Amino acid sequence: MRAPLLLLAIAKPICGLSRPCCGRRAAVFGAVAASSASVLPATAKDRVTGYPNQYDWEKTLAPGPFLVLRQGGTEPPNSSPLVKEKRAGSFGCVACKTPLFDSAAKFESGTGWPSFASGLEGVEIVESFTGGLLGNELRCYGCGGHLGDVFNDGYLFRGTPAEKTGKRFCIDGAALVFQPADGGEPVSGDGLSKRQYSAPKDVELPAWLQPPKVG
């Protein structure tokens, strides 16, 4: 990403529920991805390209989580209820419940996807030679499912935890379930399965994108 507003346009493509998409990195530089097999996910803990046990997961997952976790799809921005989740707690894989992110690492990126400055041990980074420019794919260590991508532009998000780590973990909310620290009911991040989502009118901008206050 070269500028904050450019990030909003290209960091993550929008993909319909009916078909998987090729991911954020390939959408930005499709020609590069198409010309080199190295752009495709390498093995993660000896896993081959693709997402294992796809048939079994299709029986147990709702359409939204299945699209993201098992097919590498991407949800529309602001479609997940977890975008605005600010309570203390933890975020885990909706399929296998592996802990993935702590609420202390979550920040408002303005992109429309849940964003984190760092991940827990349950988050695997699938390295590619374009990772420094286009970002690297993220997968769940427990089930091998696709979570999103990690980008090296955290320093742009002033006043957030990402400024310190230099990383922005851009995650599809449909892959997550949030467990509040106070013991409340878990919250699913799936805003796709029933197609009952629309861009909210009160999209929250991060502090560094908000216009200056007068008076």
pLDDT tens profile 18-29? 344 444 444 333
Please tell me the predicted confidence (pLDDT) of residue 215. Answer: 54
Q: What percent of the chain has pLDDT over 90?
A: 55
The reply to whether 126 falls in a domain is yes
The reply to whether 210 falls in a domain is no
The domain that holds 50 is classified in CATH as 2.170.150.20
The reply to whether 197 falls in a domain is no
What SS3 string covers the chain? Answer: CCCHHHHHHHCCCCCCCCCCCCCHHHHHCHHHHHHCHHHCCCCECCECCCCCCHHHHHHHCCHHHHHHHHHCCCCCCCCCHHHHCCCCEEEEECCCCCEEEEHHHEECCCCCCCEECCCCCCEEEECCCCHHHHCEEEEECCCCCEEEEEECCHHHCCCCHHHHHCCEEEECHHHEEEEECCCCCCEECCCCCCCCCCCCCCCCCCHHHCCCCCC
Number of domains observed in the structure of the chain? 1
The reply to whether 202 falls in a domain is no
The reply to whether 185 falls in a domain is yes
The reply to whether 14 falls in a domain is yes
**Catalytic residue status for 170:** yes
The reply to whether 209 falls in a domain is no
pTM: 0.73
By residue range, what is the domain housing residue 104? 4-192
Active-site pick, 15, 93, 140, 170: 170
